[in-house]
Amino acid sequence: MAEKRRNKTKDEVLLDLQRTFWYIVLVILVLICLFSFYILIINATRSNPDIQKGFSLLPGKSFLTNIRNVLSDENLPVLRGILNSLFIAGCVSVLSTYFSTLTAYGIHAYNFKFKNAAYAIVLAIMMVPTQVTTLGLIKLMMKFGLMNTYVPLIVPSIAAPIVFFFMKQYMESALPVEIVEASRIDGSGEFGTFNRIVIPIMKPAIAVQAIFTFVTSWNNYFLPALIIDSTNKKTLPILIAQLRSADYLKFDLGQVYMLIAIAIVPVMVVYLILSKFIVRGVAMGSVKG
């Protein structure tokens, strides 16, 4: 008995050492991930000459100066750019997650002749890079007179194969078809079943994809730069690129870092609001039940 207790104690000590080791590894990884954000915040408080001198762990004294210069620049409507980006990213997030969930529900809950073919086609479309179809999209928008509008940035986002695939995988593990059949027997309509039964079950997955699609749309520079011409309609990534591409003699790194710091605040807010769903949503969406 004494030997068994001694062995058990050794196992517990070994387990504690392993747990401590992995905690240290995780802390190091977290610090590495947060280090870039820390440097961004530090540089946002420093002046252009101080930043050019090199690296610093201590904040500067130019925080108010940088934010004043960014917000007072007439050629850089930052507040308007934030509102534009919020509107586009918000619409993209809502439409993409809702209709992708609806499409995944149709594939998951219905049996029809070309069900597998439809699923395969959506997955095939997922492999096509956005840049390949951009030229055709721009020509189509020019033909419809929709250039310099938000329509090309919002409406095509409804077709989101990656979001659809995630939702489909999540439904395999979290949405039994029997629930849908029971609601039909009770007299519920198809859209009523989807909105009142399926959507609440899919909340974790919807929250995860809402974060991902919001961040992707918020950081999107490629397509908005090709579509938007008016200064008042430009999004925040365009304004950041515009500030960075200024004349070298007028290039202010303090303003650039401050504008980037301002740009990440809405993303952090959305993440904090929906973060409680991330672990559960990713875990269930990545494993088929």
Distance between CA 280 and CA 35 in Å, rounded? 27
- The alpha helices in 127-252, defined as continuous H runs, are 130-144, 151-154, 161-174, 177-185, 190-193, 199-201, 203-218, 222-227, 236-244
Using the CB atoms, write b or e for 40-69: b if 16+ within 10 Å. Answer: ebbbbbbbbebbeeeeeeeebebbebbbeb
Q: What is the pLDDT of residues 161-188, one digit of tens each?
A: 899 998 998 888 888 888 888 888 888 8
| pLDDT of amino acid 98 | 94
Choose between 206 and 13: higher pLDDT: 206
What is the 8-class DSSP label of residue 226? H
Distance between CA 273 and CA 82 in Å, rounded? 19
Reported residue count of the chain is 289
Tokens 């790194």 identify what position? 253
DSSP 3-state of 160: coil
Distance between CA 276 and CA 131 in Å, rounded? 33
Distance between CA 199 and CA 44 in Å, rounded? 41
| pLDDT of amino acid 8 | 59
Is it the case that residue 95 has pLDDT exceeding 90? yes
Q: Torsion angle of alpha carbons 13, 14, 19, 20, nearest 10°?
A: 70
